[in-house]
Amino acid sequence: MQTIIEPFKIKSVEPIHFTTKEQRINLLKEAHFNSFLLKSDDVIIDLLTDSGTSAMSSNQWAGIMQGDESYAGSPSFFRFEVQVQKITGMPIVIPTHQGRAAEKILFSILGGKGKYFVSNTLFDTTRANIEFSGAEGVDLLCEEGKHISTPAPFKGNMDTDALRKFIIEKGAENIPLCIVTVTNNSGGGQPVSMENVREVRKICTDFGVPLFIDACRFAENCYFIKIREKGYENKSIPEIVSELFSYGDGCTMSAKKDAFANIGGFLAMHDKNLAQRCRNLLVITEGFPTYGGLAGRDLEAIAIGLEEVMDENYLHYRIRSIEYITEKLVNAGVPVMQPGGGHAVYLDAKEFLSHIPVNQYPGQALVGALYIEGGIRGVEIGSLMFGKYDDNHNLMPAPMELVRLAIPRRVYTQSHIDYVSEVIIEVYNKRKEIVGLKIVEEAPMLRHFTAKLTTF
Ligand code: F0G
């Protein structure tokens, strides 16, 4: 088989700043063992997130120059609106400055005490916005999704039996929305099958619960459907994308992922009344409905990115590069989520550092070790991010202790990816030297962003 090459040429480059291991030991201490507190200039390969970190294409940069910055009625907005309508089939498009702004608006309107939002798995900002409104977020992930190293084609699926039971138990009137996150970021970037979305849609229709799609990585999800789900092998990505969105009453989107934009997001929907309430809030928090917290140039970049992301050559390379690292790690015996996700490699820190108990945050300890060894920055998706305390201040751990290495889109080449695999394997071979961490300072919500930790 021929090597799958990067489907782009490089026109402009950014230098990487190199550091030594000794420097990184000190830099990590100064950052209180929290990768969010590192300076990006002190990072060699930055896999903290795939969000807002894409390399834009020459077409997108050209679009930036064409951006019209009129306060109201900018042609850039209409180009953006048409593109979102084309993809989602949803007539109403509301731009926001990023995904969580769309969430904040939606959940401020639909949330509140006594309400439940059900999902395959909610992302952390989605959950936080739900909880901030006083409502509760509920994850109903399918059984396969809970077994990190057992491969299955659609580990992001929702448990539809559990969904039905949940709606009956809590009452449809207390469930303002069901949300399907594609791909399932917190659950390993794993895709959701079309069959599953169809089933969820049917249950939602039966009970009168609206269905929204958290569409951040819709194109990656649709590529997985094409290569893994029977009946879709000969369909084009735009056709699969249209079908996926056709099951939603609305969607939230962070354009910082599958739109190759450095900022942006939107809400799209069918319901005119809901849209009116969203726009009322939009005006006081984001901006006028034809720019919603974005510059005209951002709207152009997003519109172009939303088209580019559906290119099959790109998606083939994208999914293959994640699979490539995963294969290398599996061959070296490193515990990693299988199969590879759409945007990231997820290390199983509980297995990797089995000598560190969960209340000493093995995921965060592994993040630190990867940084010291090779200047790689990842993020913990485990008990630092999702853990809660019981009444006695004992940690109630998250179901999984993962370290996510998210691959920015079109940014790194194969040699970077090879380097990342080598560093992970090196750390794995020295894993017994890694020690656990304790928190010394934390915020009440989304604590992982700012928490300060120290070693035991
Ligand atoms: N939903 C999902 C599934 C996400 O992954 C994110 C962001 C959001 C919503 C919020 O979008 O950042 O534009 O406000 N995920 C980033 C990440 C931050 O690193 O996975 P946003």
What is the position in ligand 1's atom list of the atom closest to the CA of 48?
Answer: 19
Helix (H) or strand (E) holding 291: none
What integer pLDDT is reported at residue 444 of this predicted model?
A: 87
Q: Give me the DSSP letters along 371-416.
A: HHHH-EE-EEESHHHH-EE-TTS-EE--S--EEEEE--TTT--HHH
CA of 391 to the centre of ligand 1 (A): 30
Is residue 386 packed enough to be buried (19+ CB in 10 Å), middle (13-18) or exposed (0-12)? buried
Q: Which residues pair with 379 in a beta bridge?
A: 404
Look up residue 302 and give its two tokens: 């997003």
Look up residue 88 and give its two tokens: 């989602």
Three-state secondary structure call for residue 282 = helix
Q: Which residues pair with 403 in a beta bridge?
A: 347, 380
Residue found by looking up tokens 């939009």 in the block: 282
Three-state secondary structure call for residue 170 = helix
Q: 58-308 — its CATH code?
A: 3.40.640.10
Is the beta carbon of 214 within 6 A of some atom in ligand 1?
Answer: yes
What is the position in ligand 1's atom list of the atom closest to the CA of 255?
Answer: 13
The pair phi, psi for residue 425, each rounded to 5°, is -65, -40
CA atoms within 13 A of residue 252's CA, in its CB half-sphere: 26
What integer pLDDT is reported at residue 242 of this predicted model?
A: 98
What integer pLDDT is reported at residue 187 of this predicted model?
A: 85
CA of 333 to the centre of ligand 1 (A): 30
- In the chain, how long is the greatest CA-to-CA distance? 60
Look up residue 402 and give its two tokens: 């993962």
Task: Tell the residue nearest (CA) to atom 9 of ligand 1.
Answer: 99
Is the beta carbon of 184 within 6 A of some atom in ligand 1?
Answer: no
Is the beta carbon of 181 within 6 A of some atom in ligand 1?
Answer: yes
C-alpha closest to that of 285 among 97, 93, 153 = 97
CB 82 within 8 A of CB 266: no
What integer pLDDT is reported at residue 318 of this predicted model?
A: 97
Measured CA to CA, the distance from residue 57 to residue 10 in angstroms comes to: 10
To the nearest 10 degrees (0 to 180), the angle between helices 362-374 and 414-429 is: 120
What is the position in ligand 1's atom list of the atom closest to the CA of 181?
Answer: 3
Q: Quick count: other Cβ atoms within 10 Å of Cβ 206?
A: 11
Q: For the segment 329-354, what is each residue's pLDDT rounded down to a tens digit?
A: 999 999 999 999 999 999 999 999 99
**Which among 254, 256, 286, 409 is the best mutation to test ligand 1's pocket, defined by most ligand atoms within 8 Å of the CB?**
254
CA of 123 to the centre of ligand 1 (A): 7
Is the beta carbon of 183 within 6 A of some atom in ligand 1?
Answer: no
Do 58-308 and 21-50+312-455 fall under one CATH topology? Answer: no
CA distances from 31 to 37, 246, 363, 442, 454 (A): 5, 45, 16, 14, 10
Task: Tell the residue nearest (CA) to atom 4 of ligand 1.
Answer: 123
Give per-residue burial for 265-275: e unless 16+ CB within 10 Å, then b: bbbbbeeeebb
Measured CA to CA, the distance from residue 246 to residue 68 in angstroms comes to: 31
**Which among 104, 106, 125, 343 is the best mutation to test ligand 1's pocket, defined by most ligand atoms within 8 Å of the CB?**
125
- For the chain, the structural domain boundaries read 21-50+312-455, 58-308
- Those residues of the chain that have pLDDT short of 50 are none
Task: Tell the residue nearest (CA) to atom 8 of ligand 1.
Answer: 99
DSSP 54: P
Q: 317: alpha, beta or left, given left = phi > 0 and alpha = psi -120 to 50?
A: alpha
What integer pLDDT is reported at residue 290 of this predicted model?
A: 97
Look up residue 96 and give its two tokens: 């926001």
Three-state secondary structure call for residue 130 = helix
Measured CA to CA, the distance from residue 32 to residue 113 in angstroms comes to: 36
Q: 21-50+312-455 — its CATH code?
A: 3.90.1150.10
